[in-house]
Structure 1
Amino acid sequence: MIYGGNTPFAVELRAVTKQYGAKSASVRALNGVSLGFPAGTWTAVMGPSGSGKSTLLHCATGLDRVSSGQVLLTGTDITQAPEAYLTTLRRRSIGFVFQHFNLVASLTAAQNVELPLKLAGSRVSKSDVFEALDQVGLGDRLHHRPRELSGGQQQRVAIARAMITRPAVLFADEPTGALDSQSARTVLALLKDLVRNGQTIIMVTHDPAAAAAADSVVFLSDGRVIDRLDQPTTHAVAERLARLEESC
């Protein structure tokens, strides 16, 4: 098993297999993956196209059911949990950030940030919304709509929205994929600050520079974990990824 140390895991996969289809048409997207993500750390997940990165993310969040094995979120086994329970758990314990910001165009930055609270039926504190936007450097953009913000600013609003519920784990799927290099650096620095303050982040990326910002990088191939790199550098990540793609 590849684990990150003795720190309690925020997310843990135990011998997880995910298979799509049946018999001769079946595809095994994950193949016996055992992997722990320590609380308060940032892990990047990389691999060639079709290696199982997105499936791992979906199974870890309960968006997709595993075919076999167990998934534990903050110590709770969610493998067989009812869908209603998973929906509530995701709203309270998980934050999502995607490549495409998924902001509601007709809403202001503040209204986009408070949306998860409203959907969960929770009380909305204007001071909490301001604090979330101020934390990402947008305290002066509360009333701006997405079209009035740059791509980097929109992604920071998306991060504030993900963090407003104070999730145990932040899942990021190519969070810098749609950004220019300067905006990407700003977003990565923000994520680094969140980790310094105890946030757990699991990030899928194809970008060696983004992966190098994380504490460690896990490499997948054909649905298996085949390598791990701690204290990564851009060069080391790019080299291992290139070697992996050549062998596929």
Structure 2
Amino acid sequence: MTAATGTERNTQRGLGPAAVELRGVVREYGTKQARVRALDAVSLQFPAGSWTAVMGPSGSGKSTLLHCAAGLERVDAGQVLLGGADITASSDAELTKLRRDQIGFVFQTFNLIGSLTAEQNVALPLRLGSSRVSRQELRRVLASVGMEDRMRHRPRELSGGQQQRVAIARAMVTRPAVLFADEPTGALDSKSARTVLDLLGEMVATAGQSIVMVTHDPVAAACADSVVFLSDGRIVDHAQRPTAREVADRLTRLEG
């Protein structure tokens, strides 16, 4: 499927051409005497129906960018737009609802609850949002990540790759407009990582899902439609469908 088709599908859901947009975003940490600017007037669009990887040296601002774009952190200046709607001045309650209803999160550490089954973990966002939990929908989501036959297993009974697939199903059960992934393959072996990356790519290709992924892995980044490179809190490079070698070379130059 072409990226245009993904954009069309997201437009029908009310997103328009950009799933997320940052306009002149500044984020600082620390006291006046030791102020650190993690994001320095960053302006960037993440197109709807596409997969964007964010890379850069340690301390470049990758995670801060993701957290600000997802409404997990407030910006000090600039604007963050989700589907064209400015969320910069949203209240804490509004941001909580936004993250619950329109945004999905996948992290390196899976963050599954050990006492719950895979099915119960996936149902958790719906229960927290007081939404009706359909067993059929839970089966559908787990089947979409190849985990329908493991729905009654607890995290300790699953491999790392299987736990990450459950985490992806949990993120997708609310049908989010945007999926934010922070190092989703960082704790996986190469085979499990490949499975997770193929799954993310399929979501974009078949359902027009919008994905923003922070990663340090050139192989993972090369699976995305585009790669954005940060250094010292600024966008310094951009590549469309680069190879893993091209990503590694650009990252090496930034780290040098």
TM-score normalised by structure 2 residue count: 0.93
Aligned to 1:222: 232
What amino acid is aligned across from residue 24 of structure 1 in structure 2?
Q
Partner Cα distance (2:238, 2:43) in 1: 13
Tell me the distance in 1 between the aligned counterparts of 2:115 and 2:29: 38
- Within 5 Å, which residues of 2 pair with 1:64-213? 64-196=73-205, 197-213=207-223
Please report the RMSD computed on the Cα atoms of aligned residues, expressed in angstroms. Answer: 1.0
Give runs of aligned pairs for residues 9-28 of structure 1, distance below 5 A: 9-28=18-37
Q: Distance in 1 between matches of 2:95 and 2:188?
A: 31
For 1:43-58, list aligned pairs within 5 A. 43-58=52-67
Residues 159-215 of structure 1 deviation map (CA, whole Å, 9 limit, x = unaligned):
000000000000000000000000000000000000012000000000000000000
The SS at the match of 1:166 is: coil
What is the identity, as a one-letter code, of the residue corresponding to 1:17?
Answer: V
Q: 2 CA distance for matches of 1:21 and 1:147?
A: 39
1:38-61 CA-to-partner distances (Å, cap 9, x unmatched) read: 000000000001100011011111
**Within the alignment, does 1:239 sit opposite 2:237 as a pair?**
no
- Between Structure 1 and Structure 2, how many residues are aligned? 241
Counterparts of 1:244 and 1:49, CA distance in 2:
10
Runs of 4 or more, structure 1, over 6 Å off, are none
Per-residue CA deviation, residues 50-79 of structure 1 (Å, 9 max, x unaligned), is 100011011111111101000001111010
Quote the Cα distance in structure 2 between the aligned partners of 1:157 and 1:186: 13
Seq. identity, %: 70
Q: TM-score, normalised by structure 1?
A: 0.96
SS at match of 1:140: helix
